[in-house]
Structure 1
């Protein structure tokens, strides 16, 4: 039976450039094409970046500051090509006292290298009254590198803009969804089909492409209401996405595969996002979950992939954190969990050798 018990290590001495930056979002932990991990934290007008000096190593370089002047509601997404895409909103004042709201994106193509300038994707609405109600963007990347960006709209709808196979942007499309209470959770399967789960007031609505590059078609509605911001998609079999979310009614984690009944998994998450990752443990395909629990500490869950009905083993790591944890596998295939400690500094714990899932001490980076 997998076990998970990272312990909190003492902080390093000496201040860094991150000490005075108040974290607004993150951390996001991403494995680059060269196998090195990068941790990103959103602070005011900047993205702080820490990068492993060697794949699978324990030393990190950073923090470095990436420009994010005026960017709010930052999100970080990546695909099989390991490019890192930054999504956000930028609000600009108008001469008449109103505001322009643009959906923005930038890209980092290689580990540790500069990011591109920020580019505007515009807004789904030309009417100023509707445009200012657009919410935080979310995204998914197809296996061919095409980026899909979704935003919730003020009337409870959802809009989508995407790249085509040649990398050109297609115009905004308003999807067949109503009553949305939060941004959708998009996902791309290994065969490049994109789908998304939309939280609504009474259910979770599933939309999916019937074919590669096709329109989003309305699918099932599951009788579970996700806590805003909690949904995490994970491909748990070829072409099949499982959504892990916090049930607003019961307060526990739920696994949802479209077409099946929601499956309660227990746990005691707070109101943040769930991190989900597949890995092999003792020769078994397993899913690892990480949440910030109601006690404010990092909590880990482990189960057999798509075998959640057999039980999920939850462990409170006692690591008190701000925000929500993130998961990735390093260049040696080991699971790494990242979180912001009580002082807002990023810390990581790494899978140790041996059976099951046991973690090292937490260490600031």
Structure 2
């Protein structure tokens, strides 16, 4: 999944979403903090291809987008909304193609504005980013080319200040950044910086009411941080491949940013936390839990009580494991539980 796949729903229950062969599966808590349902397929029998994008709105609804093959041999993006964890999501509905028609151009990113409208972003055949936005009263606006150049890997999208959409993407030797100046207005390519960012490692997070932050791995295998208007800075060595999971958390009364990843060395989940937007204070990894399969993924969320919850799951069939923040000083996580 392109985005955090552990999601707290409108009613406080947690759900997990994962690509499995040609479908997206989901599981949900039957009661907040309680037992979980069995895995179920999303959106009927429609076959999917490649990675799916996922985003959560302030209303607690989950939006997903994925590529699906067409009868002509091409592909189109499809979209669904999941309103409540114990209800089935809507069936996948066609959302078109950034270039009108063609094949898969790259993994989509999804974000949701403060009006609950889904926004889908994907690379186009010209190498830039195209955007699709829902209308206020249903349906979609036309695809729009946001420009950009030589993009590699999926973009990262995130709602920023007052619900305006912000998008990051990696190019050849560059990081590129788009945003709306105000919600529901046009997007502009605001900034591009020279930087070697590994494709497929981007993760964006709103780290304050005013700013969003991009996490990525550079060519020296360092986990780096970039906020537009500044230069990218290294935070610590990347523990493994792919993007980190990231969330904000209250630790000893301080607003902190927490990142997590599966360590390629030990196979365990590693965590690092630091005061939000104060990367100069440094951070270090702390290991937790058992060794996991090579393809195990990690995601972070906060539950209905504001506690951090970490989840790990393997697409090859590994068990869903969860760990919750304890009511103790520091970032104290409980024992990992299989569900």
- Name the TM-score, length of structure 2 as normaliser: 0.92
Moved segments of 4+, more than 6 Å:
24-27
Separation in structure 1 between the aligned mates of residue 45 and residue 179 of structure 2, nearest angstrom: 32
Partner of 1:262: 232
CA shift in 2, pair 1:64/1:343, >3 Å = closer
Pairing of 1:104-119 with structure 2 (within 5 A): 104-119=78-93
CA distance in 2, matches of 1:282, 1:243: 25
Q: 1:193 & 1:25 partners in 2: Cα distance?
A: 20
Residue from 57, 63, 67 that aligns with 2:39: 63
Equivalent residue number for residue 272 of structure 2? 301
Residue 354 of structure 1: which of 323, 328, 331 is its match?
Answer: 328
1:39 maps to which residue? 16
C-alpha separation in 2, matches of 1:215 and 1:27: 26
Preserved CA contact (<8 Å) 1:27 1:40: no
**Aligned residue for 1:280?**
250
Q: Using CA pairs below 8 Å that are at least 6 residues apart, which structure has the higher relative contact order?
A: 1
Structure 2 CA distance for partners of 1:26 and 1:198, relative to 1, 3 Å = closer
Q: For 1:138, which of 104, 109, 115 is the aligned residue?
A: 109
**In 2, Cα distance between equivalents of 1:50 and 1:356:** 30
**Offset at residue 58 of structure 1 (A):** 4.1
Correspondences of 1:213-224 after superposition (within 5 Å): 213-224=184-195
Correspondent of 2:65 among 87, 90, 107: 87
SS in 2 for 1:62: coil
Task: Give the secondary-structure state (helix, strand or coil) at the position aligned to 1:191.
Answer: helix
Matched, 1:76 2:43: no
- Asked whether the equivalents of residues 27 and 340 of structure 1 are also in contact (C-alpha less than 8 Å), the reply is no
Q: How does 1:1-365 map to 2 (within 5 A)?
A: 28-55=5-32, 57-66=33-42, 67=44, 69-72=46-49, 73-94=51-72, 99-126=73-100, 131-247=102-218, 249-295=219-265, 296-317=267-288, 318-321=290-293, 322-340=295-313, 344-365=318-339
What residue ranges of structure 1 are gaps of 5+ in the alignment? 1-23
2: distance between equivalents of 1:308 and 1:46? Answer: 38
Q: How many residues align?
A: 333
Contact 1:157 1:174 in 2 (8 A): yes
Structure 1 residues 244 and 26, CA, compared in 2 at 3 Å: closer, same or farther? closer
Contact conserved, 2:201 with 2:241, CA < 8 A, in 1?
Answer: yes
Partner of 1:11: none
CA distance in 2 between partners of 1:159 and 1:26 (Å): 18
Shift of residue 49, structure 1, vs aligned partner: 2.2
TM-score by length of 1: 0.86
Shift, 1:267, TM fit: 3.0
Q: Give 1:297 shift.
A: 2.9
